[in-house]
A and B are shown apart, each in its own frame.
Chain A
């Protein structure tokens, strides 16, 4: 059998072979435990060194943008849950902000605070899941159990808030569906207090672990220029030293009232991406404490409209910072009940596009580390 492949697979810049050793192609996915879903990576390898990576996406393309065109704006909120399901409060908020902007709807003070509290809580929740999976991808199962244990506590809170554990569908244009349940704030404060000690525990368990450090430090470096060129945002961009956080730079809601820092990395390697996320959890706790302290009484939603319409030929654009980066919603209207077109900008889409820059030149096992620190949510990429 002729083992040497002469044809270049789709997307590669040159064929394997030539040089001193024989290069070959390896397929990873779409069914692979470390691709976090159904991502497929084709890798050109020289021995164990990754030479080039070509990602294939679309295995969970659910045509959400097409469906959006035949549903009213409000009916679309539950579909945004299914984009980035680990930060679905934030994606809900993205669409709600776009509707509020286009249909001129205001938000009462209390609702603004509720939004911040819920979003930051979810950021912690999402990062906890990432932390568990990151350690598991590197071979440490204990961390997975720890991470999920903490996550369940926050999931309980969300369940009390809106009845769902994962697909929340809680925000509406002009506020939220319902008020906070009783005893919600003290419980959040308790979780915050608890999380502080837990994060120190996590540092001892994983961050200071020699093996984890060896496997992440100096691995998967993404330079600032390449990150910008690929359109990376969120923790990935911040680890590469790009000071861009939507919450700080284009504040939405009332984020401009809170005092928090944006952690930045220096080198853009896997360890930086790791520490940036851990630090983000600490900052989220800070925001939570401030917001819980100041939470005013009042309405949780402004007056409802039976129909939220954006005027003809107008468009509205909103950006929010999800746990993964800049999530933008672009709504084009033709004056009808349903949007003419909705486009969601997914942060993961750009990150996976940059994976060739990050992981080529390293070993195949490092590719798994890089993927784990990107924290991709595949349905968000494919939409």
Chain B
């Protein structure tokens, strides 16, 4: 505009009637600002869908002048924090916020950005409240908030903006830089103290009231009765696929000493009786692991061509690496399980990779490396995948503890 807005009150206010003029300038500037908010296209998860719904035809955010969603933070003056904020993302959010020109506003949408919401307890990656990173103007509760709630939030923000004045220009608000401090414990202790005081104050009054009203009976709520149906057992759906007996026969032809998990002593008759719902789960040693998977993949009848997933389970003294395979031709599944030794002293469990057999295994193995700390030898690209490189520890291990991040569930 070329005019320094801050000069206006300095020049106008001392003049007779000048205050009114400044107020008029305030009014116009605030009106313009508040009714043309340009939000940034920023959405991390579920709440973003409701934000999109707000922008779409039915709820039509443009009625309130905020429909110009900008893809670049340099053109936006409002950021709607739609969705959970994680530790890995928080650094990027900070950058985004810093790139926005002043004056800038922040709306925190949803329980996640208020306190972590459903992800408060036992969680090692979610920031428990977006205001631990950026200053927030309006919080909208809900999981997710309805589009109407978001509109209400925008109206509240407009009210906030219309209270601004150029006599006291906004100062850029500082970023918050301690995302992982434990605010909850101190607050909870303070609440407890407060509550105790109140109870003490009330105790006398209660006794007095009880003495005055001896016949009073407090209303006891009734338990909501569920309409419950008959008791019934699970009946699996019928399906046609290669039978378990056939699979075992094919496998034991080449690898005779590979047992089924939990069913090592099974007889042939019992095998034949297993329902197609049962998924054969083979236990292999580490020496045979890759050879066995490659056999399953290349066997003409078994033809396990689709890798569903590779995952692991921590049994405290060892890990089980599990490979779940499916055949698109035979329509059967096979699980393979391989135990990997692990102890406190030997903290680097290792197993061979199968990423040369299935490209999809590449990422699954990286995930296991990230969350369990099992290294896959000969893997082309062994890096963390979900967490930041500087994250300490492997969270899905049963002995993982990180009191700076995790708030334990109190019940």
Query: Residues on A close to B: CB < 8 A?
Result: 10-11, 30-33, 37-38, 57-67, 69-71, 78-79, 81-82, 85-86, 100-101, 104-108, 129, 132-133, 144-146, 148-149, 151-152, 155, 165-167, 174-175, 226, 228-231, 233, 242-244, 249-256, 298-304, 313-314, 317, 319, 326, 328, 330, 332, 340-341, 343, 345, 349-350, 353-354, 357, 378-379, 382
The reply to whether A330 and B311 form a contact with Cβ atoms under 8 Å apart is yes
Interface presence of B157 (CB below 8 A) = no
The reply to whether B305 and A57 form a contact with Cβ atoms under 8 Å apart is no
The reply to whether A59 and B44 form a contact with Cβ atoms under 8 Å apart is yes
**Which residues of the partner chain A approach B388 to less than 8 Å between Cβ atoms?**
58
Interface presence of B396 (CB below 8 A) = yes
Q: Can you list 9 pairs linking A and B with CB atoms under 8 Å apart? A: A37-B48, A62-B119, A104-B234, A105-B234, A107-B232, A231-B309, A298-B229, A341-B396, A353-B360
Interface residue SS majority, chain B: loop
Give the size range of B's interface with the partner: 35 or more
The reply to whether B118 and A256 form a contact with Cβ atoms under 8 Å apart is no
Residue of A nearest to B49 (CB): A166
**Which residues of the partner chain B approach A301 to less than 8 Å between Cβ atoms?**
227-229
B92-108 interface (Cβ within 8 A of A):
92, 96
The reply to whether B45 and A379 form a contact with Cβ atoms under 8 Å apart is yes
Q: Which of A71, A145, A233, A354 contacts B306 (CB 8 A)?
A: A233
The reply to whether B230 and A108 form a contact with Cβ atoms under 8 Å apart is yes
The reply to whether B123 and A63 form a contact with Cβ atoms under 8 Å apart is yes
The reply to whether B306 and A244 form a contact with Cβ atoms under 8 Å apart is yes
**Which residues of the partner chain B approach A108 to less than 8 Å between Cβ atoms?**
229-230, 232
The reply to whether A350 and B386 form a contact with Cβ atoms under 8 Å apart is no
B50-58, B182-190, B199-207, B247-255: which lies at the interface:
B50-58
State A150–B205 Cα separation when bound (angstroms). 59
The reply to whether A302 and B231 form a contact with Cβ atoms under 8 Å apart is yes
Q: How far is the CB of B338 from chain A (nearest CB, A)?
A: 15
Q: Which of B45, B92, B305, B363 contacts A31 (CB 8 A)?
A: B92
The reply to whether B234 and A106 form a contact with Cβ atoms under 8 Å apart is yes
**Which residues of the partner chain B approach A298 to less than 8 Å between Cβ atoms?**
229
The reply to whether A148 and B383 form a contact with Cβ atoms under 8 Å apart is no
The reply to whether A299 and B44 form a contact with Cβ atoms under 8 Å apart is no
Interface presence of B122 (CB below 8 A) = yes
**Which residues of the partner chain B approach A101 to less than 8 Å between Cβ atoms?**
234, 236, 277
State A251–B42 Cα separation when bound (angstroms). 38
Interface presence of B144 (CB below 8 A) = yes
Residue of B nearest to A343 (CB): B311
State A330–B279 Cα separation when bound (angstroms). 12
The reply to whether B358 and A231 form a contact with Cβ atoms under 8 Å apart is yes
Given contacts A60-B83, A86-B49, contact A353 B362 (CB under 8 A): yes
The reply to whether B45 and A60 form a contact with Cβ atoms under 8 Å apart is yes
**Which residues of the partner chain B approach A104 to less than 8 Å between Cβ atoms?**
233-234
Q: How far is the CB of A25 from chain B (nearest CB, A)?
A: 17
- Looking at A60, A81, A86, A133, the one whose CB has the most chain B CB atoms below 10 A away is A60
Residue of B nearest to A251 (CB): B237
B113-158 interface (Cβ within 8 A of A):
118-119, 121-126, 143-144, 146
State A244–B396 Cα separation when bound (angstroms). 32
State A151–B324 Cα separation when bound (angstroms). 35
Given contacts A148-B58, A175-B229, A353-B363, contact A63 B237 (CB under 8 A): no
Residue of B nearest to A382 (CB): B386
**Which residues of the partner chain A approach B58 to less than 8 Å between Cβ atoms?**
148-149, 152
State A144–B60 Cα separation when bound (angstroms). 12
Given contacts A86-B49, A148-B52, A250-B239, contact A303 B121 (CB under 8 A): no
- Looking at A33, A61, A86, A133, the one whose CB has the most chain B CB atoms below 10 A away is A61
Q: Which of A60, A85, A343 contacts B89 (CB 8 A)?
A: A60
**Which residues of the partner chain A approach B363 to less than 8 Å between Cβ atoms?**
349-350, 353
Interface presence of B41 (CB below 8 A) = yes
State A66–B86 Cα separation when bound (angstroms). 15
The reply to whether A165 and B50 form a contact with Cβ atoms under 8 Å apart is yes
Q: How far is the CB of A115 from chain B (nearest CB, A)?
A: 13
Interface presence of B307 (CB below 8 A) = yes
The reply to whether B230 and A58 form a contact with Cβ atoms under 8 Å apart is no
Interface presence of B260 (CB below 8 A) = no
Q: Which of A129, A229, A350, A353 contacts B49 (CB 8 A)?
A: A129
State A57–B385 Cα separation when bound (angstroms). 6
Q: What string of 1s and 0s marks CB contacts (under 8 Å) between B392-404 and chain A?
A: 0001100000000
Q: How far is the CB of B351 from chain A (nearest CB, A)?
A: 17
The reply to whether A228 and B83 form a contact with Cβ atoms under 8 Å apart is no
The reply to whether B41 and A313 form a contact with Cβ atoms under 8 Å apart is no
Q: How far is the CB of A60 from chain B (nearest CB, A)?
A: 5
The reply to whether A332 and B313 form a contact with Cβ atoms under 8 Å apart is yes
Interface presence of B262 (CB below 8 A) = yes
Q: How far is the CB of A366 from chain B (nearest CB, A)?
A: 19
Q: What string of 1s and 0s marks CB contacts (under 8 Å) between B254-294 and chain A?
A: 00000000100000000000000101000000000000000
**Which residues of the partner chain A approach B335 to less than 8 Å between Cβ atoms?**
317
**Which residues of the partner chain B approach A314 to less than 8 Å between Cβ atoms?**
262
**Which residues of the partner chain B approach A230 to less than 8 Å between Cβ atoms?**
358-360
Q: How far is the CB of A326 from chain B (nearest CB, A)?
A: 7
Residue of A nearest to B383 (CB): A10
The reply to whether A166 and B144 form a contact with Cβ atoms under 8 Å apart is yes
Q: What 8 A-B pairs have minimum CB-CB distances, sorted nearest first? A: A299-B229, A106-B232, A148-B56, A231-B360, A58-B386, A303-B231, A85-B46, A61-B386
Given contacts A37-B43, A353-B360, contact A59 B56 (CB under 8 A): no
Q: How far is the CB of B369 from chain A (nearest CB, A)?
A: 13
Residue of B nearest to A88 (CB): B46
State A78–B233 Cα separation when bound (angstroms). 24
